A and B are shown apart, each in its own frame.
Chain A
């Protein structure tokens, strides 16, 4: 009799502990989620994407002005990005279009020799050194000729 009631109270005790452990886990999960959320909010990718817009503007200003001072600013800008593990996706006219790195925003009529090749680079693209693309390079591409 005695052992039976002892066991019973042990079960009640353990059940209580189990529920508590689950609740603890759940609260931990919530906390991690909250932390992760705030981390993500300020995570580099989002911030860098926003700053890239400013880089674009400076870059287009430079294309008009050709100012030696702005050239220095742009270089410094790239250096800061490089320090954060961000590098420009290098591409030039005549390179073969690669959808992993480039985004075609316009197609222009080409000839047999150049179809599928980049006609013009419109907007710089960026990636993390470990390859994840932050923003693909926006390019104009020679369209394949209709058969």
Chain B
């Protein structure tokens, strides 16, 4: 059976998506590689999308856009009159008083024009999937009446689709967030797109979405926000140079482009620099446009626009007979909802964090694809796979949480690593399993611990303890530690490694983010301590092995330095710089031991053996003696277990 695609047929832009491997995927346009296609059609030369947009200004009477505003409407409709005042193409009266577009002596129904857009999306989908696409789910605004829905369905049929279903845009957005799985919810969908604003209230009961109320502003969108920035730039430039950039079409075009770019950048940064050198000339001298626009200024410029969404939202809630706090979920749709001020405004108004994780330009098409997947039976067939919400780790030398299975890994899965001991003759290791994103084990949630003993005595770093993590499909974690030499193994089974409440996960993730820099410092400190510890161990060993081959003076100097380092390390909150300096001094002195041994060896016949020993000493790295019972930080080898 061929795939069913989901299509968001928008006023300004359209998007097509499909279920692939059980997940929705937005299909890029084959000509531009972009995920969105402008809803613009030149029917005579049959240009659709970006190419139609590029020639629009030359061919205004022949280029149809915003046709969605006309779908299924009669010629005497008030909205038609409004649209005619806005667009350069001619709208006429057709069969049964319905509207038609009059282009070069021919008439086109809005359905035919929309069908051209759908045909392009169909072809893009077929190019992407490599198979014929026959069916589609198409979305419409919740306020569309029967005639408008019928017209949309016809458009799909003209394009060669079997229209499996027409669904409401807010419903599609809710599906994209998986809200149909909840029992009963009241959902508000705030949709601020390129040219229109829609607010809808849905009520979910028994898996069915019911539209309680809708409202909006059919002439408010992203373009108005761009215009506000353009006016500001032009105004400032006029103040500085007494030149009106609006009278220079070429300059104005550049200001427009730069304004849109600034708008997008201001969603992420607090300030943007607007630089357009050689924007125009005055008395034969070039003039440059350079200014800064802060987010605060942008917000004040567009405050009135954001406020224009206030009344429709209030009216919509009133119609639904609800208060803002009755709403369980708020969903953001449309590119403009990326603006931080709008997010804050919505959050404050409804008193809850809005859903905004799905790309707001694509969320409707994604929901339509999910609906298509359900109808095609594809969604049902997919085995639902769970993921680990937080990183699972084990504690290693110095209290570091060493990740074994990272966050968001699909389960069941297994992973193993080989660890070693931290001290000589260490016969047991403790395996401490933690869950969380913080680098230190103590800051994460402890899931359990156990001890593997009976490791044959050996120098530190030699034993190989393989620790494996295995999570089965139901989220049960089994941690096994096995000593490769003796074959002894020990394990622990932990339930609930996956089952964390959403709040818990969010809180832990937030905490991790908050403590990032502090954690980094902590980790650095521990690393410094481990390094110094290991240096002390090496030095002590070197002195012991060198015996009387080194002078008493050197021996006492080194012993003194060792004590110095130990002294610094006694303090929990030691001075890192001081430690580094003292360690360096110790390491310098230590080199003399090697030198002394080499010299003494060359005088005797044991030359080669002594030389080797010196190198061994210098090259050795490792943990300390005071960290017994901990699994060593020295990784002998790393490897995944292949089943």
Chain A contact residues, CB within 8 Å of chain B: 16, 19-20, 22-24, 26-27, 29-30, 45, 57, 60-61, 63-64, 97, 99-100, 102-107, 116, 122, 132-133, 136, 138, 140-141, 143-144
Contact = CB atoms under 8 A, between A and B. Distances in A.
A97 B278 contact: no
Contact of A29 (B21, B278, B409): B21
Contacts of B409: 27
Contacts of A143: 58
B251 to A, nearest CB: 11
Given A20-B643, A132-B33, A144-B58, A60 B278 contact: yes
Nearest to A103: B54
Interface of B: 21, 31-33, 47, 51-59, 249-250, 253, 275, 277-278, 286, 383, 385, 408-413, 472-473, 643
Given A27-B409, A102-B54, A141-B57, 5 more contacts: A20-B643, A23-B410, A99-B52, A107-B58, A138-B253
A27 B32 CA distance: 30
B412 A20 contact: yes
Given A20-B643, A27-B409, A30-B410, A106 B57 contact: yes
A116 B45 CA distance: 14
A26 B410 contact: yes
A139 to B, nearest CB: 10
Nearest to B250: A122
Given A97-B58, A106-B253, A64 B286 contact: yes
Nearest to A102: B54
A28 to B, nearest CB: 10
A27 B410 contact: yes
A27 B414 CA distance: 12
Nearest to A19: B473
Given A122-B250, A132-B33, A100 B51 contact: yes
Contacts of B58: 97, 104, 107, 116, 141, 143-144
B40 to A, nearest CB: 11
Contacts of A97: 55, 58
B245 to A, nearest CB: 14
24 contacts: A16-B412, A23-B410, A23-B411, A23-B473, A30-B410, A60-B278, A63-B278, A64-B278, A97-B55, A97-B58, A99-B51, A99-B52, A99-B55, A100-B51, A103-B54, A104-B54, A104-B55, A104-B57, A104-B58, A105-B253, A106-B250, A107-B57, A122-B250, A144-B58
Contacts of B472: 16
Contacts of B249: 105-106
Q: Which of A19, A24, A99, A116 has the most CB of B within 10 A?
A: A99
Contacts of A19: 383, 412, 473
A51 to B, nearest CB: 15
A108 to B, nearest CB: 9
Contacts of B643: 20
A19 to B, nearest CB: 5
A107 B56 CA distance: 10
A57 B21 contact: no
A24 B383 CA distance: 13
A63 B52 CA distance: 31
Contacts of B47: 99
B250 A104 contact: no
Nearest to A24: B413
Nearest to A18: B383
Contacts of A104: 54-58
A61 B277 contact: yes
Contacts of A103: 53-54
Contact of B385 (A22, A105, A132): A22
Contacts of B275: 57
A23 B412 contact: yes
Contacts of A140: 250
A60 B286 CA distance: 10
Contact of A60 (B59, B277, B410): B277
A104 B59 CA distance: 10
A23 B413 contact: yes
A29 B22 CA distance: 12
Contacts of A133: 32
Contacts of A100: 51
A102 to B, nearest CB: 7
A132 B31 CA distance: 7
Contacts of A105: 57, 249-250, 253
B411 to A, nearest CB: 6
Q: Which of B33, B54, B286, B383 has the most CB of A within 10 A?
A: B54
A132 B56 CA distance: 21
Q: Which of A64, A105, A136 has the most CB of B within 10 A?
A: A105
Contacts of B411: 23
A138 B55 CA distance: 11
Contacts of B21: 29
Counting from the closest, the 8 A-B pairs by CB-CB distance are A60-B278, A103-B54, A99-B55, A26-B410, A99-B51, A99-B54, A104-B58, A23-B410
Q: Which of A24, A103, A143 has the most CB of B within 10 A?
A: A103
Q: Which of A23, A102, A141, A143 has the most CB of B within 10 A?
A: A23
B54 A136 contact: yes
A73 B353 CA distance: 51
